[in-house]
Amino acid sequence: MIVAVGIDVVLVDRFARSLARTPLLADRLFTEAERYTRSGNPRSPESLAARFAAKEAVAKALGAPAGLSWHDCEIVPDPGGRPWLTVSGTVAAAAVERGVNRWHLSLSHDGGIASAMVVAER
């Protein structure tokens, strides 16, 4: 049963400028596994912007409760390379409170815009 849907869009250039202007921002928003590919290369600004959009979409699906930690929502590749959403800590607690025990995630970026949609399911 679907509990909620969240969607967010991010302007890639604006997001990239924010990351360049605030060097520690990427560390605050993303785990190491999110910042780098499996081969150890830094992720592109488009990829990071899509991951940020996913985190925002998760927060929206949960009703944007206060106190969520960015690192408690992680978007990493599954064994096949598709983006996979994992939650822990503050985000997992908010999900349990709302009866969410399964997530579906879609990321996209094109034309300078990154987007994400999540479906929260019970």
Is the pLDDT at 9 greater than 90? The verdict is yes
Residue 81's pLDDT band (cuts 50, 70, 90): confident
pTM of the entire predicted model: 0.94
CB neighbourhood size of 121 (10 A):
14
- State residue 118's pLDDT score: 97
Is the pLDDT at 23 greater than 90? The verdict is no
Average pLDDT across the chain, whole number: 96
Q: Is 56 annotated as a binding residue?
A: yes
Q: Is 81 helix (H, G, I), strand (E, B) or coil?
A: coil
Give the burial class of 52: count Cβ atoms within 10 A of its Cβ; 0-12 exposed, 13-18 middle, 19 or more buried: buried
Q: Is 27 annotated as a binding residue?
A: no
Separation CA 29–CA 7 (nearest Å) = 18
CB neighbourhood size of 42 (10 A):
11
Sign of CA dihedral 26, 84, 45, 6: negative
CATH number at residue 38: 3.90.470.20
Give the burial class of 58: count Cβ atoms within 10 A of its Cβ; 0-12 exposed, 13-18 middle, 19 or more buried: buried
Number of domains observed in the structure of the chain:
1
Is the pLDDT at 103 greater than 90? The verdict is yes
pLDDT tens sequence across 87-99: 999 999 999 999 9
In which domain, by residue range, is 22 found? 2-121
